[in-house]
Chains A and B, each alone.
Chain A
Amino acid sequence: MPDHKLQKLSHTLQQTYDRHDLHATGKHLTVLKITLARAGLLFPSLDHDKEDLVTARSVLEVGAFYSLAIKDVKAFERYEAMLSVYYRDLSPVLPPSPLRRPILGLTLLSHLAASRISQFHTMLEQLSTSTNEQDKDILNDVYIRWPVDLERSLMEGSYTKAWRAKSRAPRKEYEVLAEGLMGTIRNDIASCHEKAYQALPLAEASRLLFFDNESEAMKFGQQRGWNFSPTSKIFTFPSQSRNGSTSTTTDAASGGHEDGESAGDLLERRGLVRKALEYATELEAIV
């Protein structure tokens, strides 16, 4: 027996969301969530009415999109968790939802943005090996493909590709999550540059870091502690940790008998002695 009240409420919710009236949508959602909880639909089972389940699913889907529209990523993850039950356990009885793939793609992206790479890959593995009929070409689906491609170009280091992908986002909700991701990308690039370059002109730096103007790039550079000479307009990167390990070890090898010994040398020697002793005891145990 379908719940008419629930359906009516969900209908109005859909309408307000379609009108992009975010404030009203939020209000409706709160009411609906209480209704769902009362009907036990937040923890759905096969005993519930089929139509009610479909309604509840669409309410949650609207909720997920709404939470991204108001930039609440945490809320989106909560909605996604509730939806996963509908998508996975109830999939044999319910008609497939057209919004399932966008939601899955967004989840992938949210994992990526929060740099939960292992979850990202677990989910991807689950999707790509799925034998489910409706998931047949899911990896070629635009909504899923977008975050997957993004991840691949990030791993490779093709940051331009990743940056450009932003403008091709398949839904506007993707942009909200991508925004956070771009900050991560920028930091990533900066850390690469610190290692790879000795010096970089300001204009080039701002281009490589995808800044619109040079003053932003300068601010960013100062935040990361780069040296900037105003006359030549060139960033020089502090080379603190470059080939640090090799230099200290060569010192240890050559300058062992000098008076001014560093703590590292002492440690080195202790380590050697300890190792030798370990071998001695081991040998004793064997012989």
Chain B
Amino acid sequence: MVSTEAKTDDVVMKDAAADSAAKNPAVVPFALDKGMLLRSLFQRLGLTAKAFQYRNTRQFDAHSSSYRFAGAATDCKGIAESDNAEEAYYSETKNQLEKLVGLLPQTPKTSEEGESIDKTTSNATSMEVDEASTTGGKVAQTKEKRPTWAGRAGAEPLPEADVYVRLLVIVGLMDNKLVEEAYSYAKATAAYIQSLNRRTMDHIAAKVYFYFARCAELLKRDEELRPILLAAQSTAFLRHDEDLQATLINCLLRNYFNSHLYEQADKLVSKVTWPESAGNPQSARYLFYLGRIRAIQLNYSSSHECLLNAVRRAPAAHVAPGFYQTVHKFFIVVELLMGDIPERALFRQPILRKALVPYFQIVQAVRVGDLEAFQTALNNHASRFHADGTYSLILRLRHNVIKTALRMISLAYSRISLKDICLKLHLDSEEDTEYIVAKAIRDGVIDAEVDHENGWMKSTEVGDLYGTDEPRKRFEARIDYCNQLHNESVKVSTVRRVCRWPYVDANFASLCQAMRYPLNGPKPDLEDSELVRERQLDIEQALQEMDDEDMF
């Protein structure tokens, strides 16, 4: 507080404070462009930084005793310098960062204030947002005074700028392995953000919380973190802060996964709604966690869908190889559990090839139904699978191997004795073989019947598949998929969101190419659905009549 006193005795500053009070700094235009905000923020930061450099060089001597209470400030300076050294490799932003670092001596003061705000809000009853915002306003006002050192009365800095610098400090601390400090500082910053309640801060707030959660994870304080995140999540929901919501849901899920609380993770997912406006990276993370939960619950088809979408939404493979690999590991196992075999091309991708070697062996074993190869692959790479968290999923694959083997046998032989099956599959007993075969028949894996008296399995002849409507159904499913894809991409391209579809096979891709929609071209009046429906009814009737005529 001493430092604030020290500043307020300046005449220029009082003027500025009066000026800014009239402008009401807490109100920032709602629809402010994000890019513009950041640009102006940087400008302002540059100005403030200059101001501080100016202050440091020229007025530091004059005011030194009152401005700096030595300990905290110099500490922070030290950190700032090491920050600087660490982040030097950001050559482009180095200049900017140096300027930012110039700002840092103020941080002990602000963190102190953040904590004091924390106290007042925690003392106050839950919903007194007004009080919080007024304290926030006060803080904003005290901050208001700083930039006036630049000599420009109109340039009041935003709390966003302040939080942005704090964010940089947190990241810097983490880079320097000062996780403990980063954690407590992030905690204070989070409390400060909560007290401000500014929509324009949402994006930065999400980042702060992300690093906060990461610090807690590094320090293994998951349990301590959980209630804080949960509270912040519900607040974010009430404030429609979708960025923060998305980040917090992912942090919480990660937290639960780290503590192996899958049931709680499932409950969380069932209680929250995923904000639609969340960015692709966050959505990809969320879908990945969701896919894992579903896989554990044996809901493989939904898990498959989630993981597939996670891959599609993930950043390009060479940008985030770790995520790409991890998702694929689960993706492959889930695909196997569904009874499908992943494509060979997947394992040839340069980024995936090395990481997926153990999985490739498993896939090969499942593909040919070789129980022995499966067992050896499982034993050889057990530690790898344990580390990936896929071990128990892979264990479930055992009966899939048996099923595939049975299917192969039933295709190859029209009649085979149960004893031979038992030997071929390395099963333990002939009795069990009978049950296993019976179960496979019931589950529709093979089309056969068991002759108990003679002790053999007789495959039923496969009818002509093209005599049924199976091909049509398959074709319909594909067309539906294409349509859905097209509609979605039209939707997506209108909002100019970039989406990649690496999994669409060549046919679909060319189809999509053909169907590609001009970005700003004339759109069909889809809104005119009323008209469309009417026309459809007409056509349907006409067709019906024609049909009837045909019949008689």
Contact = CB atoms under 8 A, between A and B. Distances in A.
Interface of A: 117-119, 121-126, 128-131, 152, 155-161, 188-189, 191-198, 200-201, 204, 208, 243, 246, 249-250, 252-254, 257, 268-269, 273-275, 277, 279-282, 284-286
B402 interface: yes
Contacts of B396: 121, 155
A124 B392 contact: yes
A192 B539 contact: no
B432 A160 contact: yes
Contact of B532 (A122, A157, A257, A281): A281
Nearest to B258: A131
B502 to A, nearest CB: 23
Nearest to B391: A128
B35 interface: no
Given A152-B395, A192-B441, 13 more contacts: A121-B297, A125-B262, A125-B296, A126-B260, A129-B260, A156-B399, A158-B432, A193-B438, A194-B442, A196-B450, A208-B435, A243-B460, A277-B536
B266 interface: yes
Contacts of A286: 486, 515, 517, 524
A275 B476 contact: yes
B297 A195 contact: no
Contacts of A195: 438, 441-442
B180 to A, nearest CB: 21
A198 B449 contact: yes
Interface string B527-552: 00000100010011001100100010
Q: Which of A156, A161, A198, A280 has the most CB of B within 10 A?
A: A156
6 contacts: A121-B296, A126-B261, A128-B391, A156-B398, A159-B432, A196-B449
B436 interface: yes
B387 to A, nearest CB: 10
Interface in B453-508: 453, 460, 463, 467-470, 476, 479, 483, 486
B428 A158 contact: yes
A216 to B, nearest CB: 19
A157 B402 CA distance: 10
B298 A157 contact: no
Given A129-B392, A286-B486, A122 B469 contact: no
Given A159-B432, A253-B468, A125 B439 contact: no
Given A250-B463, A284-B524, A192 B435 contact: yes
A195 B450 CA distance: 9
B539 A250 contact: no
B399 A196 contact: no
Contacts of A208: 434-435
Given A157-B436, A252-B469, A285-B526, A279 B479 contact: yes
B68 to A, nearest CB: 42
Contacts of A129: 260, 386, 389, 392
A-B pairs, 5 with minimum CB distance: A157-B439, A118-B297, A192-B438, A196-B438, A157-B436
A160 B262 contact: no
Given A129-B389, A158-B432, A268-B469, A200 B263 contact: no
Given A126-B262, A198-B449, A250-B467, A118 B428 contact: no
B268 to A, nearest CB: 14
Contacts of B398: 152, 156
B434 to A, nearest CB: 8
A268 to B, nearest CB: 7
Nearest to A284: B524
Contact of A246 (B297, B389, B452, B468): B468
B interface, size bucket: 35 or more
A128 B296 CA distance: 12
B78 to A, nearest CB: 36
Contacts of B262: 122, 125-126
Given A129-B260, A129-B392, A161-B428, A122 B442 contact: no
B375 to A, nearest CB: 13
Given A192-B442, A246-B463, A160 B429 contact: yes
Contacts of A191: 442
Contacts of A268: 469
A280 B479 CA distance: 12
B452 A204 contact: yes
Nearest to B515: A286
Nearest to B476: A275
Contact of B392 (A128, A193, A196): A128
Contact of A277 (B447, B515, B540): B540
Contacts of A285: 524, 526
A164 B506 CA distance: 52
Given A130-B260, A156-B399, A160-B432, A197 B266 contact: no
A279 B262 CA distance: 43
B15 interface: no
Nearest to B434: A208
Contact of A200 (B297, B442, B452): B452
Interface string B391-418: 1100110110010000000000000000
Contacts of B453: 201
Contacts of B260: 125-126, 129-131
B352 interface: no
Contacts of A275: 476
Contacts of B544: 273
A227 to B, nearest CB: 16
B246 interface: no
B299 interface: yes
B449 A122 contact: no
B437 interface: yes
Contacts of A253: 467-469
B440 interface: yes
A196 B442 contact: yes
A204 B453 CA distance: 9
A252 B539 CA distance: 24
A257 to B, nearest CB: 8
B437 to A, nearest CB: 7
A280 B536 CA distance: 9
B469 A249 contact: yes
A273 B476 contact: no
A76 B93 CA distance: 63
Nearest to A197: B450
Given A197-B452, A200-B452, A273-B543, A158 B469 contact: no
B131 interface: no
A267 to B, nearest CB: 12
Contacts of A121: 296-298, 392, 396
